[in-house]
Amino acid sequence: MAELLDENVISEHITLPAPNNNEGGEDTPFKVSYGKTMMWFFLLSDAFTFTGFLIAYGAIRMSKTWWPDPNVVFAGMPFLHGVNVPLGLVSIMTTILILSSVFVVRAVIEGHRMNQKGVAFWLFLGILGGVAFLGCQAWEWSHLIHDGMTPFYNVYHAGPEGETIKLALAEKAKTPVSPGPPMFGGSFFGITGFHGLHVSIGVVMNIVALIKTLNGTYQRRGHYEMVEKFGLYWHFVDLVWVFVFLFFYLI
């Protein structure tokens, strides 16, 4: 105790042993490192963000007597102009994103084996999937915007029997008030946009992980936990997409 009270010891900056989870001998309660714990809790809070968005959209949609049929709205396909393929593109997008998620899981497993080449290979495939998904989304957005859809204007409106009819582009100038429920565009662009932002961030994170893997940073560090953490985020993006897919495209 005496030396603690010594003024010099107190005021000087003392060189200290490095703190870590195992200091003192107590194990972490969940056998999960602090970095992964943080990522998990961040994802938990992000789940609340997305639920906030989705339930706002849900409440608004429930308060409407009529809503456009997604099978009609989302029927465009790249390179197949004028051919109607209901839910075609979005099914491809879903497949791409889920496969990309699988590739990243494979990268994580290879990381556990310290297989640098394996990690890099699967991560590369995962990034390709992410970029392909973003490309599809960009096409879909521009397709919808080309048709005259905006966040506050909906060209899809109810026909006499409740079917979904598209307002011709030429008619749009003559109808200043949105013929269909305007919140269709608002919530679609808002929520898929926010999800797309997450995908973009995830792609950037995976690219960083890929570069560091190729540099051998993780190999020298002795573990690929960073790939695992970024992977958690990437799967979360996939998880959100599953729900966006359900509420915007299927129901």
Partner 1 sequence: MVTSSTGEHALSMIGAGSHHKETFISKYIFSTDHKMIGKQFLYTGMAWAVIGGLFSVLFRVQLAWPDETFPFLEQIFSNWFDEGHMTPEAYYALVTMHGTIMVFFVLTASLSGTFANFLIPLQIGARDMASPIMNALSYWLFLLSSLIMLASIFLPTGMASAGWTIYPPLSILPQASSGSGMGMTLWLVSMVFFIASQLLAGINYISTVLNLRTKGMTMTRMPLTVWALFFTAIIGLLSFPVLFSAAVLLVFDKGLGTSFYLSDIFIGGKALGYSGGNAILFQHLFWFLGHPEVYIVVLPAMGIVSEILSLSARKPVFGYKAMILSLLGIVVLSFLVWAHHMFVTGMNPFLGSVFALFTLLIAVPSSVKVFNWLTTIWKGNIKMTVAAVFSLGFVSMFISGGLTGIWLGNATVDIQLHDTYFVIGHFHLVMGVAAFFGMFAGIYHWFPKMFGRFMNETLGYIHFFITFIGGYLIFWPMHYLGMSGVPRRYYDFNEFHAFSEYHDMNLLISVSAIVVFAAQFIFVINFFYSMKRGRKSTELNPWKVNTLEWTTPIIPGHGNWPGDLPTVYRWPYDYSKFEDGPDFIPQTVPLTEADIESDKKNLH
Partner 2 sequence: MSSHLDDATYHKQVAAIWRATIIIAVVTVFEVGLALSHYFFFYHHPKAIINVFMVLATLMKAFYIIAEFMHLKYEYRSFIIILTLPLIFLVWLIIALSVEGTFWLRLIQ
Per rule CB under 8 A, is residue 247 in the interface with partner 1?
no
> With binding defined as CB under 8 A, does residue 118 bind partner 1?
no
Nearest-angstrom CA–CA distance, 118 and 103: 11
The nearest distance, CB 123 to partner 1, in angstroms, is 19
Choose which of 46, 69, 116, 125 interacts with partner 2 (CB under 8 A): 69
Structure tokens at 177: 């008030």
Which segments of the chain does DSSP mark as H helices, in order?
A: 2-5, 7-11, 34-62, 70-73, 88-112, 116-146, 169-172, 183-215, 217-221, 225-244
User: 3-state DSSP call for residue 250?
Assistant: helix
Contact call for residues 100 and 126 (beta carbons, < 8 A) = yes
Residue 138's CB is within 10 A of a number of other CB atoms, namely 11
Q: How many CB atoms lie within 10 A of CB 123?
A: 29
Question: Is there binding between residue 216 and partner 1 (CB under 8 A)?
Answer: no
CB-based contacts of 73, cutoff 8 Å, min separation 6: 144, 156, 164, 184
Q: Which residues within the stretch 92-151 sit at the binding site for partner 2 (CB under 8 A)?
A: 94-95, 98-99, 101-102, 105-106, 108-109, 112-114
Taking the least distance from each CB to partner 1, the nearer of 136 and 237 is: 237
Nearer to partner 2, 16 or 62 (CB): 62
3-state secondary structure of 176: coil
Q: How many residues bind partner 2 (CB under 8 A)?
A: 58
Size of the site for partner 1 (CB under 8 A): 65
Spell out, one character per residue from 188 to 207, where the chain touches partner 1: x when CB under 8 A holds, - when not: --x---x-------------
- Does 152 participate in binding partner 1 (rule CB under 8 A)? yes
Judged by CB under 8 A, does residue 186 bind partner 2?
A: no
Residues that bind partner 1 (CB under 8 A): 1, 4-5, 9-35, 37-38, 41-42, 44-53, 56, 59-60, 63-64, 151-152, 177-178, 181-183, 185-187, 190, 194, 221-223, 225
